[in-house]
Structure 1
Amino acid sequence: MDEACHQFTMGLREFIKDYFLGFWDYETPKVMVVKNRTLGVIYRAVQFLVITYFIWYVFISQKAYQESETRPESSVYTLMRGSAVHGDEIFDTVEYARPSEGGDVISTILRREITYDQKQGTCAEHFNVANANCTKDSDCVEGEVDFDGHGKRTGRCVQYYNYTFKTCEIQTWCPIEEYAVVREPALEEAINFTVFIRNSIHFPRFKVLRGNIKDASNKRSMRKYLRKCYYNEEKEPYCPNFRLGYIAKQARENFSELCKTGGVIGVFINWKCNLDLDPSHCKPTYSFRRLDLRKDQASSGYYYRFAKYYRKDGVESRTLIKAYGIRLDVIVHGHAGKFSPIPTIISTVTAMTSVGICTIICDWIMLTFIDKNEVYSERKFDEINREPSVTLPTELSYINSYGSNHSDLSDGVPL
C-alpha cells in the first residue's frame, strides 16, 4: 500500500515537473509543401468560400467598412382628422381622439358604452362582485371596501334595483355602470379617418437631419399636397397621412373586430440610411403590427373610461363613458452608416485572419484521412532540445538548405 502511494506521488511529481517545464517551450509554425492535388483542391475551395462569405456578409450585407450610428434623436407629432355621423350626433376630432393632438401615442374611439346621469349616493352593488349577494343586513359589513367592486358598503342588504334578489348596499356613483350602461353601435365610418404622423430624425454624429414629409417649394404648395395625399409605399413614400383602414389592413386585422374589442397597433418607422449615397435615398419605411395579446382574452383589446361632469338641479352629476378604440404607438428606429477608414482596416484584417481556418481544416484532413498520414505527421512536428551541443537532424539540415523552415513533400515522400 505504501509502495503504491509512493509511486503515485512520484508520478504526480514528474507530471507537474514536465508540465511546468513544457509551459516555457516555444512553438513556431513550420512551412511544409504537400504536393497532393486532392488536398490542394480542398484548400483552395475552402479559401474561396471563406473569402466570398466575408466579402458578401461583412462588406456588402453588414457594410462593415462604414462608421455607424444606431441611437438617433427623433421627434413625433400625431394628429387625427375626420368627422362622422353617429345617430343624431356629429363626431369631430374633439369627440373621438385622445389626445386630440400630441406625441408618439394617439387613440381614437370606435365604440362607446355610456352610463347617463350618475350621482353620488347609495345603491345596490352588482351581483357579480364577490360576497355581494345577501339575505340580511348582517351579511354586509359596514365600511368594507371591495377593490373589485364599486364602492364602500353601508351595512344594509337591499333589493337589487327592480329584481327580486338582494345585494349589499354601497356608497358610490349611482346607478352603477353594469346595470345602467347603454351600448352604442360601432363607428364604422372611422375606417376612413386619417392619422397624420410627422417624424423627424437627427443623426448627430454625421450632422444629418431628415423628415418624413416631402419637400415643397413653399408652404402653400405643402399644405395643398398634405390635404390630398395618402401614404403609398411606391407612389407616395413621403406622404404622412395614413387611413385607419389601411393601418388595420397592414397589421392584418379586421377593422370590424377592432371596433368591438379595440386594440393596440404599433406604427414602426424605420430609417436605414447609407450616407455614402445622396441624402434623398435616406427615406423611412413603415410597418404595422398588433401589440396587445389577442390570445389572452382577459387583457386583449383596448378601452378606457372618462367622464363628462355637469350640475343638474344643483347636484353634481356625470356621464360615464367607456370607450373602445384603436391606440397607435409610433416607434422609431434609425441606423445610419458612412465610409470610414478605421472600421474598413479592422474588417479587412479580420477577414484576412479568418482565412487561417482553411489551414486548420486541411491539416486535420491531411493528418486524419489522407494516405500516408503518418509520414505527414512525422515531418510536420519536430522537437528541438534546448542544449546547444545537439546536432540538427538530417532532415532539418535539408530544410535549412531549402529555405527557412520550408520542406516539400510529394504524396508523402521527400523530394
Structure 2
Amino acid sequence: IPDHSTVCVDDCDCIEGLNDPRGSGIQTGLCENFSTTVKTCEVISWCPLEIDSHLPDHALLDSAENFTVLIKNSITYPKFNIHRRNIAPHINSSYLRSCQFNRSSDPDCPIFRLKHIVSEAGEDFQDMAVKGGILGIIIDWTCDLDWFAKYYMDQGGEEFRTLFKAYGIRFDVIVFGTAGKFGVVPTVVNLGAALSFLSLVPMVADWFLLTCLRKRDLYSRHKVSYLREDADSEGLYHWDCGLACSRMVLKYLHPISDEEFQRACWELKLTESVWTIDLAYLMCHLGIKHCFCTQTLGVDKGFRNQNFYKKHFDTEEDRVNELFLKAESKGVTVKKCSVPLQEIQSHLEQGHVAIVLVNAVVLTCDLCSSPVKYCCFLPVGQKCFCRKPEYQGHFVVVCGYNRTTGCVFYNNPAYSDRVCCTSVSIFEEARRSYGTDEDILLIYKES
C-alpha cells in the first residue's frame, strides 16, 4: 500500500529484508507498479491485505452495548480430585434468566453487559464500536487455557489464509489456577535435600555419634588425634591446630622427629592453651628464622568478653603478656604491625610459608564439600557442640596463591590429605576478624 515509506522509483529505494510496520510485510528489494502512476516496494505477506483507510460512517456496533455475555468457567485438578467452577452451587436457571452482574447487588452473577465490561477496562464502548477491538478477560485460576493456531495449509500443503474483515469485539477468557496438597514422602525428600544443601547432615551425624552413641568415646578417639604430655601422664589433650601447623611447617623446612617436637612442646609448656606468641617461641627454640607480626603487643583486654577466650582469659593474660615482654631477650622476633596482602604474596613467592590466625567461622574452602567444625585442644571427655559462634580462632599454614584467579592456598590441620583454596576477599576477612589481632607468623626457609 503506497505511503511515504513504501513509495519507490527503482529497486535501489527498497531494502531487502526490511520489515516496515506500515508496509504489511517484509520487503523483497524489488520496486513494482502499484498503479499506472505509482510504484511501491514489493513485500512478502499474507493476501489479501487488510485496508483500514475507509471506516464506516457510523458505529456498526453502537447498539451492541446492551448485549450480555455469560462467562461459564470450571477447572479440574484430577491428581487431587478437586473440581471448581465460577457458578456457585446456589445459582439456578431462573436466577440466571434475570440476573446481571453488579458488584453490590449481584456479585455472583456470571452474566455481564458488554458496556459494563468495556467501562471496567477504562474505555468507552461507543469509541470501540467504530473499528472494533479486542478486550481480554482474566479469571485468576492461574491456568492458561488459551490456544492459538499458527499455520493453515490447503490440501496441496501450501500455506494460505482467507481474510474476513469484520467489525466486532473479541473476548479472550484466560483462566489461571494453582493447587497443592501435603504429602509425607515429598516433605521428607525435600527436607533431606534442604539439610544436604545447608551441609547440616555431617553436623547432625557428628552430634548424634558424640552424644547418643554408647561407644562415643571410641568414635571421639578415632575422629581426632592426640598429643600426649608424657608416657606416664594421665592427662590427654586434643591435638591443637597451632601445634599441628607448626608440625607441618617443620616437616617442610626443618624435619625433626616426633619425640624432638614433643620434647620442645613440653619444655615450653605448650599443652592446653596455645597462642601465636607460643608458636613464635617454639620456632625460636628450634632455631627456625621467623617474624611474628601482630596488632597488639600483649593480650587485648577486649577479648575477655568473647566466648572463645572467656574460659582461659584470666589465667592466660599474665602468662602471655610476660612472653611478649621477654620476647626480645629470648631472641623471639615480634613486630607490632599489620601485614598487607602484597607483602604476604611476596613472602610466598620466595618459597617461604606463614602460620596465620583466622576466624574459622568466616574461612571457607572452595574445594571442600562442607565446612570443618573445629574443637582445638579440648580435654578428653569434653564435648564439642557445633553451634556456629561469632568467632572461632583457628591456625592455618598459608603456602601459595594464584594472582590470575585471586585464590589463596593453605593447609588446614583438620585435613591431612589435601590443600585448601579460598578467595582473597574471604581470606582477608577471616584473618582480619576481631579476635585474631591480625596475627601472622612469617616462617623463612633456609637458603
TM-score (normalised: structure 1): 0.33
The answer to which structure has the higher strand fraction is 1
- Determine which structure has greater relative contact order: mean sequence separation of CA pairs < 8 Å that are 6+ residues apart, divided by chain length: 1
TM-score (normalised: structure 2): 0.31
